[in-house]
Structure 1
Amino acid sequence: MKKTLFSLAVSACLGLIASPSMAKDEWPTDTVKIIVPFTAGGTTDIFARVIGDHLQKAFGKPFIIENVPGAGSVNGIAQVARSKPDGLTIGIASTSGLAINPQLRPDQVPYKPLKDLIPVTMFDKVPNVLVINSGKLPVKSVPELIEYLKKNPGKVAYGSSGVGTSQHLAAELFQQMTGTKITHVPYPGSARMVTDMIGGQVAMTFDNVPLLLPHVQGGKLTMLATATAKRAAFDEKVPAVAEFLPGFEAVAWHGFIAPAGTPKEIVDRLAAEVQACMKKPETIKKFSEAGAEAVATSPKEFADYIAAEMTKWKAVIEKANLQVK
């Protein structure tokens, strides 16, 4: 009898010791919520659903999307940061939500990117492109544009989708690296800005490929270059700004994040499966057709990239003396 009781006690203790590991191995134990900090139907939302479908098949549990837009993606990311770190709430983060807004408007961002969140994996880079209205700017290349801007300081207007967006800071970085001065005209989103650009109210912009490409292909706007480190896969005939300004890069990127405290085993399993999805030919094709580059990084690589982006954009923000209240 004593031996039996002893055996049961030992088994119970072993069970208690093993249970945390077993719980991690069994993750997910229930439905996983993916918080997307953008509106439904947008490019990032569509990409999140593609990856969510893959995760659902891989893990055998539902992965559902919850759209929490607003405040330059801050609202959705803040909800992830506040969530229980059990792997059942994860989210999508972006350039603006992790690398820009926390430094541009720190009093309005209720989280520290690398303290309150765990980077899981980056899954895409969406090139910004330098596009002009040729009727307003008589130039055909980046060097010609730089020369024209230097001769006409402050006389050329560029549009952006708002103060503090990656498009706005791309233009600020361009000015800082070229010693030029361009007048900023911020809009409440890109759609109206593009309409005004076609109409000639603004002469140039840095914005995402999916938005601008149809207007370039239709002959209404002219693409001078991509804001990528090298020529972009969507059209390798288009030069990169970096060919004329070494080190210039201003892309929008997105990745998965989890609340701080989420077990490493869960983070690693999630990262591995997202990476597997991003390496599938059909995923690469789908992302490429939307003007995005499919990416698959480790958690550490993503964390290092975020840290580098925070340093880079902090310097741009401080040099431009940008303030948002």
Structure 2
Amino acid sequence: MTITRRAALALPLLPAAILPARAQPAWPSQPIRIIVPFAAGVSDNIARLVGAEISKVLGQPVVVENRPGAGGNIGSEAVARAAPDGYTLVLGTISSHAINPAITPRMPYDNIRDFAPITQLSSQPNAIAVPASSSARDINGLVAELRRDPGRPFGTSGVGTSVHLAGALFQQLTNTQMDHVPYRGSAGVTTALISGELPLAFDNLSSVLPFHREGRIRILGVTSKERVAAAPEIPAVAETVPGFESLSWHGLFAPARTPGAIVQRLQREAAAALALPAMASRFAELGITPVGSTPDAFAAFVASETQRWAQVARTANIRLD
């Protein structure tokens, strides 16, 4: 046997570390999927707007897939279990990544441990609205009526939503008592308000603002700390109820253990997309503020929101069966 033949036979016994490594394709080399764990709506629109701009820069399609169910848990769990390769992301919200862990007895994922936060995309205040015929003209008047008439119903888009928790927080800070009436989405809430069937509702500002502008309902206050540029004539509830704040938000998450370089690249491109004038204008029309925070800042924000709404849910005894 020649020396060359012996060397060839010995190659399989060499340590893997000194054998030629198989080249890995540069990321991204295939389409990226953003799972929206809700039905089509505001979340869906935000994912498509931002995804379209990211696609232009990365040179790969960004496909938005709606996978609703269980208050956002079904789609979010799918991403928590996905390969951490940067090709499967989730558009998380205050519900799926802050509130659900506090009100769901058996969560299918850990909202902190199972995800790599990329960036907060948006922030949007909720709103307190009444029918146009309501005798309540402002928050002070509403609180006075609630104290005279405890147990008044308030509508929201569902149990455990950000607006449900906003209603609970409002009761805790104003020492009032209301009965929650959940609807299947914002459309049912606004229809009931317009008809006068429902005397009061907590809903996303973008859902009720068009009807307020048409004079078909009346928004008494927005739930951000300050008034919003989209409707500066509407007071912030915090002007009357100190400490009251309730914001709906959206953010991008990847599965835990996604390489840091991929997370950072996605954050940079998403933030750049949010800074585009056309994007800012579109968001402003909906009363939504673009954010574009760093991964570390977003992680800290999610942890804070999780703790805050867990306390509100415990005090109000809100749990899903």
TM over 0.5: yes
Tell me, yes or no, if structure 1 residue 308 matches structure 2 residue 304.
yes
Distance 2:199 2:209 in 1: 16
- Give the fraction of aligned pairs with identical amino acids, expressed as a percent: 39
1:252 to 243, 248, 251: 248
Question: 1:91 and 1:34 mapped to 2: Cα distance?
Answer: 5
2:37 alignment counterpart:
37
Aligned residue identity for 1:74: N
Give the 5 Å matches for 1:1-325: 13=18, 16=21, 26-40=26-40, 42-107=41-106, 109-135=107-133, 137-154=134-151, 156-325=152-321
Question: Displacement, 1:39?
Answer: 2.3
Q: 1:129 Cα deviation (Å)?
A: 0.8
TM-score normalised to structure 2 length: 0.91
Per-residue CA deviation, residues 155-213 of structure 1 (Å, 9 max, x unaligned), is x2110111111111111000000000112111122212221222222211110122211
Q: Which structure dedicates a bigger proportion of its chain to helix?
A: 1
Q: Output the amino acid matched with 1:179.
A: N
Q: Distance in 2 between matches of 1:215 and 1:31?
A: 39
Counterpart CA distance in 2 for 1:122 and 1:201 is 36
Relative to structure 1, is the Cα distance of residues 266 and 15 closer, same or farther in structure 2, using a 3 angstrom cutoff? farther
- The answer to which of 26-35 and 76-85 deviates more is 26-35
Rg larger in 1 or in 2?
2
TM norm structure 1:
0.90
Q: Which ranges of structure 2 fall in alignment gaps of 5 or more residues?
A: 8-13
Aligned to 2:10: none
* SS of equivalent residue, structure 1 residue 224: strand
Structure 1 segments of 4+ aligned residues over 3 angstroms from their partners: 12-16
Paired with 1:322 and 1:33, the residues of 2 have a C-alpha distance of 33
Deviations 1:68-110 (A, max 9, x none): 1111111111111010001111110011101111210131x20
Shift of 1:223: 0.9
Quickly say closer, same or farther: Cα 1:186–1:286, change in 2 above 3 A.
same
Per-residue CA deviation, residues 113-172 of structure 1 (Å, 9 max, x unaligned), is 11011111011112211111243x422111121122112211x21101111111111110
Question: 1:139 aligns to what SS in structure 2?
Answer: coil
> In the alignment, residue 124 of structure 2 is paired with which amino acid?
V
Separation in 1, partners of 2:48, 2:195: 35
